[in-house]
Chain A
Amino acid sequence: MKTATATRRQLTWARRRRAVAKFWGDYRQNRAGLFGLAVLAVFVLSALLVPWIVGEDALSVTRPAGEPLQPPSGEFWLGTDRSGRSVLDLILWGSRVSLTVGFAATLISIAVGSLIGILAGHFHGWLSGLLLRVTDWFLVMPTLVLAVALAAVLGRSLSTIVIAIGVTSWPTTARLVRAQTLAVEARPYIERARALGGGHWHVMTRHVLPNVMPIVLAQTTLMVAGAILTESTVAFLGLGDPTVPSWGSTIQAARDTGAVSSGLWWYILPPGIAIALVALAFTLCGRAIEGVLNPRLRNR
């Protein structure tokens, strides 16, 4: 008995390893996807290591490292901001904020979206109808306007932004997951599982969820890009936490300082490039994953 379970587990893991290897083999064909992955690796690494590379005192406004608004030099590669902090250090710390917000908001959105999508696809009747109505209700709202209004009403903090983005962006995921759930549940092996006595919970977690995950993964990568852009936008509109140096709030600070009229390019250029690079990297990865999952899309 014991050996039998061990073999089954081994078989499962062998199958999973093969699936991952095949996925990676397909993904590797996409040069843009590899570029995106490399860029992401750099940013994630710097976000993780920044406390050791730079140290938290780089963010101190009261004891800044240099003079305010200095152009790039050997000491400050990207110059200094209005209070004399190194812009490069701000960007490095900002990567932490932007990636955290991006991932956290996406996590909320994906979790809510998958749950509602699977429930709406699995059950029929009033529950599914109600969930679909709620999804449609959120879908017609101008998402970004809603997110910004929510952030304005809830008060200024990072968690507010995370909630505002998460709450407003789940309906697309829900739609996608529901469609995939319906497609999966039409297959004969679901009927077999039901005939063998599998309940709702078993069917949803053991059969539907694993089949929905790949699409959710592609959606996740695309959504992180959107969430990072939204975060920077909310911060730029002055609704972010002013004490946290996110990329968006750095741009806003640069604008307030008059970077636009007096040409302080080193202050305003780097945060925008960082946002664009990360958003582009996530988008490229998402498209590459979509291409792997759906070969029809591969020559897009």
Chain B
Amino acid sequence: MTELPPSDAVPHLDEVRDRGDRGARGRDGDRLRRTTAYLGKRLLGAAVSLVAVIFTSFFLFRIIPGDPVRVMTHGRPVTIEQKEALAREFGLDRPLLEQFVSYLLGVLRFDFGESFQYNRPVLSMVGERLGPTMLLVGASLAISIALGLWLGVQGAWKHGGTADRVNTGVALTLWSVPSFWLGLILIVVFASGLGWFPTSGMKTPGVTGFDAVLDVAHHMVLPLVTLVAVVYAQYLLVMRSSLLDEMGSDYLTTARAKGLRDTEVKRRHAVPNALLPATTLVFINVGFVLFGAVLVETVFSWPGLGKLFYEGLSVPDLPLVQGLFVIFSAAVILMNLVSDLIYPLIDPRVRP
């Protein structure tokens, strides 16, 4: 992501420690052992979390509702025979433990059962909808990170200035705005009002070739703006406060004393160190961004996982919502794991 600061800027604490209480011999073997232990601990932690999520999802969607069939058919005219048939179909007539074991085995094979409203396997529906969500979430993350970190650096470096105050104020305000409402307002103004962008969907039927790419991009502008607007503030605030923390550090005075220009001090010394907390946030924030995608996709009828989640919620289609819940949680756990594994690479101080 970025070059590490010169080694004189950040003392390698572990090296200092190593030199202190261990001879040079056996250090490599020791480090390998510690790295393996660190890796193992993190992987195990992620696996435990994943199991916890699977347990929670069973509890949440099978046990809390009491009678899932009654919940799912709520407000619809169904006969008792239909209800019994449904209960058999979802295996609800079997003992709870047996249901749990078959659910667990299913999840391990990525089999989340069949959707109640579409009568199709949840997994194949997820497969169809994965692409659009990845596109939207990926693009908005990339823009939010770039924008938030850049504005955060500018703000902290000239903190208290007009630009800083305006940027922080705008970011806090946009963070407070409900994303779905912002999306609706953007549609009112730019889509149905000015007619610059389409109001919903992802593609215009019948457009092919390179035009199709432009068409998708055209459809994506408003959803992207909405998602970026509510997400970038956190990156800005974290980058800003973490750079402010670094600003008083002695090594920056040293760097200035060496005769480096201000931009050099900022780019090569201060920013790389301040980036560390922001990097973790990028990964930890994925849950928040995913939920933002649920709302934005719902508002703009973007054919992704978020809209699918909304479709499932409104029935409620328990197998579908359950499957998506597990998938969203797994994504968050995976991102946390990645953050744990990357952090020692970029910050020598926490190296195992």
B187 is contacted by which of A143, A149, A260 (Cβ under 8 Å)? A260
Cβ-defined contact, A276 with B178, below 8 A: yes
A47 CB within 8 Å of chain B = no
Contact B188 A251 (CB under 8 A): no
Q: Does B140 sit at the interface, judged by CB under 8 A?
A: no
User: With a CB–CB cut-off of 8 A, which chain A residues contact B343?
Assistant: none
A interface size (C-beta, 8 A): 47
Asked if B332 contacts A141 (CB within 8 A), the reply is yes
Asked if B336 lies at the interface with its beta carbon under 8 angstroms from chain A, I say: yes
Which residues of A lie under 8 Å from residue B244 when comparing CB positions?
299-300
Q: Is B52 interfacial (CB-CB < 8 Å)?
A: yes
Q: How many residues of B contact A (CB 8 A)?
A: 53
B122 at the interface (CB under 8 A from A): no
Tell whether A227 is near chain B: CB-to-CB under 8 Å. Answer: no
A232 to B182, CA, bound (A): 13
Question: A149 — which chain B residues lie within 8 A by C-beta?
Answer: 60-61, 313, 321, 325
Instruction: Indicate whether A143 sits within 8 Å of B287 (C-beta atoms), given known contacts A150-B60, A232-B178, A300-B241.
Output: yes
Q: Is A126 an interface residue (CB 8 A)?
A: no
Cβ B180 vs Cβ A142 within 8 A = no
Decide if A169 is an interface residue (CB 8 Å cutoff): no
B157-195 toward A: CB 8 Å interface, digit per residue (1/0)? 001100000000100110111101110110110001100
* 8 Å CB contact of A237 from B237, B288, B298: B298
B49 near A140 (CB under 8 angstroms)? yes
A residues near B310, Cβ cutoff 8 Å: 237
- CB–CB B160/A144 < 8 A: no
B293 to chain A, nearest CB (A): 11
Once A152-B316, A297-B241, A300-B244 are accepted as A-B contacts, the answer to whether A280 and B192 lie under 8 Å apart by CB is no
B71 within 8 A of A: yes
Q: Does A265 contact B (CB under 8 A)?
A: yes
Partner of A141, one of B64, B309, B329: B329
Q: In this assembly, does A236 line the interface, its C-beta being within 8 Å of a C-beta of chain B? A: yes
Q: Does B65 contact A (CB under 8 A)?
A: yes
The answer, among A141, A239, A255, A261, for a CB contact under 8 Å with B53, is A141
Given known A-B contacts A149-B325, A237-B298, A276 and B173 have beta carbons under 8 A apart: yes
- Name the distance in Å between B141's Cβ and chain A's nearest Cβ: 15
Does any Cβ of B come within 8 Å of A4's Cβ?
Answer: no
Pick the interface stretch among A13-21, A53-61, A117-125, A267-275. A267-275
Q: Is the CB of A145 within 8 A of B60?
A: no
A272 touches B181 (CB 8 A): yes
Interface string of B281-310 (1 = CB under 8 A from A): 000000110110011001000000000011
Could you tell me if A153 and B71 are in contact, using CB atoms closer than 8 angstroms? yes
Is A74 at the interface (CB under 8 A from chain B)? no
B133 contacts partner chain A, Cβ-Cβ < 8 Å: no
For B240, what are the chain A residues with a Cβ–Cβ distance below 8 Å? 300
The answer to whether A145 touches B65 (Cβ under 8 A) is no
Residues of A near B115 (CB, < 8 A) are none
- Smallest CB-CB separation from B187: which chain A residue? A260
User: How far is B60's CA from A233's CA once the two chains are assembled, in angstroms?
Assistant: 20
The answer to whether the Cβ of A148 comes within 8 Å of any Cβ in the partner chain is: yes
Q: Give the CA-CA distance A56 to B23 in the complex, in Å.
A: 80
Per-position binary interface string of chain B over residues 44-61, scored 1 when its CB falls under 8 Å from any chain A CB and 0 otherwise: 000001001100100011
Chain A residues with CB under 8 A of B187: 260
Interface residue? A177 (CB, 8 A): no
A158 beta carbon closer than 8 Å to chain B = no
B288 touches A144 (CB 8 A): yes
Residues of chain A having any CB pair with chain B under 8 Å: 32, 136-137, 140-146, 148-150, 152-154, 225, 229, 232-233, 236-239, 248, 251, 255, 259-261, 263, 265, 268-269, 271-272, 275-277, 279-280, 283-284, 296-297, 299-300
Of the A-B pairs whose beta carbons lie under 8 Å apart in the complex, a sample of 11, sorted by A's number, is A32-B169, A142-B287, A142-B332, A146-B60, A153-B61, A153-B64, A154-B64, A233-B178, A236-B181, A268-B185, A272-B185
Interface pairs A-B: 10 shortest CB-CB = A142-B287, A272-B181, A279-B176, A280-B176, A144-B291, A276-B177, A140-B49, A152-B316, A276-B176, A137-B52
